[in-house]
C-alpha cells in the first residue's frame, strides 16, 4: 500500500515573515502564491506545515 499524500498550496506571501518561516516554505517546495506541492503525510512534514499554517492550505490527495 502506498504512502498517503497531502497537497499543500501557498495562499499568502512570505514577504515580511521571519527567515526561518521563509526557509520552511522553501523546504516544502513552495516559492510563490498559488504554488502547490504534493508530499507524503509524515510527522516531519506535518511539523513543517504547523510552523507555516497561516500561509498555506492542506488537503488530502485521493489515492489511486
Prediction pTM value: 0.88
| Contact present, 3 and 62 (Cβ < 8 Å) | no
Q: Which domains does the chain have, with CATH numbers?
A: 1-39 (3.30.1390.20)
Task: Give the pLDDT band (50/70/90) at residue 2.
Answer: low
pLDDT digits (tens, 9 = 90+) for 6-55: 999 999 999 999 999 999 999 999 999 999 999 999 999 999 999 999 99
Per-residue pLDDT, 63: 74
Per-residue pLDDT, 3: 81
Closest CA to 31 of 16, 44, 14: 14
Closest CA to 37 of 8, 3, 5, 4: 8
Statement: residue 1 has pLDDT above 60: no
SS (H, E, C) 22-44: HHHHHHCCCCCCCCEEEEECCHH
- Of how many residues is the chain composed? 64
Amino acid at each position: 500500500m502506498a504512502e498517503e499524500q497531502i497537497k499543500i498550496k501557498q495562499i499568502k506571501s512570505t514577504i515580511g515573515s521571519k527567515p526561518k518561516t521563509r526557509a520552511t516554505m522553501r523546504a516544502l517546495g513552495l516559492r510563490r502564491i498559488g504554488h502547490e506541492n504534493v508530499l507524503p503525510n509524515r510527522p516531519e512534514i506535518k511539523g513543517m506545515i504547523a510552523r507555516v499554517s497561516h500561509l498555506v492550505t492542506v488537503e488530502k490527495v485521493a489515492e489511486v
